[in-house]
A and B are shown apart, each in its own frame.
Chain A
Amino acid sequence: MQVTLLFFAAARDAAGRSQDVVELPAEVTNVAQFTAWLGKQYPPLDPYLACLRIAQNEKFVDATTTLHSGDTLAIIPPVAGG
């Protein structure tokens, strides 16, 4: 399925881009699988995988949420600065 990715903060730097449109492999159907796939596809993202959150179409979702073709998936690590 095709999805749009939005990278935020440190994830943007790690992925080297702010947006991407990608074709997910057939076996990636939920958020947990997507997160694991992200680490392989963008290896510099790996250190952030434990703390970042995924938002599906402007709503944060948990690991078991099913993905759909056409989703916009935002990859959002926390930010500390003040």
Chain B
Amino acid sequence: MQTATITAPELHGRLRLQKDLVVVDVRNESEVREGQIPGAIHLALSELEQRVRNALPNPQTSIVVYCAQGARSARALRLLQQLGYQQVLHLEAGFTQWRALGLPIEIPVPACSAGHALDRYARQMLLGEVGSAGQMRLSQARVLLIGVGGLGSPAALYLAGAGVGTLGLVDPDVVDISNLHRQIIHETSRIAMRKVESARDRIEATNTDVKVATFAERFCSENAERIIGCAWDVIIDGTDNFPTRYALNDVAARHGIPVCHGSIDRFEGRVTTFLGNQGPCYRCLFPRQPQPGIIGSCAERGVLGVLPGVIGTLQATEALKLILGIGQPLAGRLLTYDALSLEFRVIGYGRDPDCSVCATRVKEG
């Protein structure tokens, strides 16, 4: 059988250029603790067959597998090929050669909190899908939350709890007493404070590992590039109006950044995920932006306080899955939730061939 190999310097070069290249470390847990290639996913050879489909659902994914010397990775390569993965290489002479050449490595324990990290994140690191490598990924991840209101509140708190390294908060508003029945990151003592500052204080109280970047401004087409351009891995759309949702969609799609969408109305919520360059976007789902005033906001139509708790938490779930590379994202699927009947429905949707954002991207691509 043909053996497809890549050398350590070649891999180092490709990692800079090819953002979607996935590096899979098939060594044992104890070896990984000594250091690994930055950003690598840990799937030990013994559990590779069982876990790889969840971790990497797309068989077209470009994968480089490595072990210590190259023997186990050669076996992993053959296994992945048998499982239908078509673009797999394995690292010649393994991690030993990578390290000998002085190429960058990372120690997969969250850097900022070393000792207590193992305690703080113990319950989620116990999950094979997370482990120490996943926790490292979370600690290096950057998530931008547009809106720190009903949806952004629970999303930010859970992402902070999970140990996401950097949270960006965008919101121009100050805390109002009428927010507090649902915007659980804010407290009565914070009324009249900027929401981004109130949220930052609460996040830091929850988890001092998390760095917080604040943007006390309304997200719009004028500041979109500046805010989005700060190298975010995932965006949580928790905004409260259509112009912002469409503006965010367009700029995130251009940058290829996934958006976890949530929206709420009275007793009903929606969740879906737009994967940047792959799959449909918000304009594919709702091509025609409603005329101003046609569809009312929470302020006009009311909202059950717990509703954004459900929806924002699902958005955070999607963000964590994307960062960890596990499960199936809600791409091309709109999840609807009706609190009154307590029914969830999933409705499929595809890319709009006439989409003003996607269609252009396909041509450019």
Contacts and interface: CB of A to CB of B under 8 A. Distances in A.
Interface of A: 8-10, 12, 18, 47-48, 50-51, 53, 55, 58-60, 74, 76-82
Contacts of A51: 286, 288-291, 294-295
Given A59-B348, A60-B348, A81 B297 contact: yes
Main SS of the interface on chain A? mixed
Interface in B296-321: 296-298, 301, 303, 308
A50 B152 CA distance: 29
Interface of B: 147, 149-152, 237-242, 245, 262-266, 268-270, 285-286, 288-291, 294-298, 301, 303, 308, 334, 336, 338, 340-341, 345-350
B224 to A, nearest CB: 17
Contact of B263 (A18, A53, A59, A81): A81
Given A51-B286, A51-B288, A53-B285, A79 B347 contact: no
Contacts of A80: 240-242, 245, 263, 265, 290, 295-297
A77 B149 CA distance: 22
Given A8-B336, A9-B295, A58-B348, 14 more contacts: A9-B266, A9-B268, A12-B268, A48-B290, A51-B286, A51-B289, A51-B290, A51-B291, A60-B285, A60-B347, A60-B350, A74-B347, A77-B295, A81-B240
B241 A78 contact: no
A28 B243 CA distance: 34
A15 B286 CA distance: 20
B345 A81 contact: no
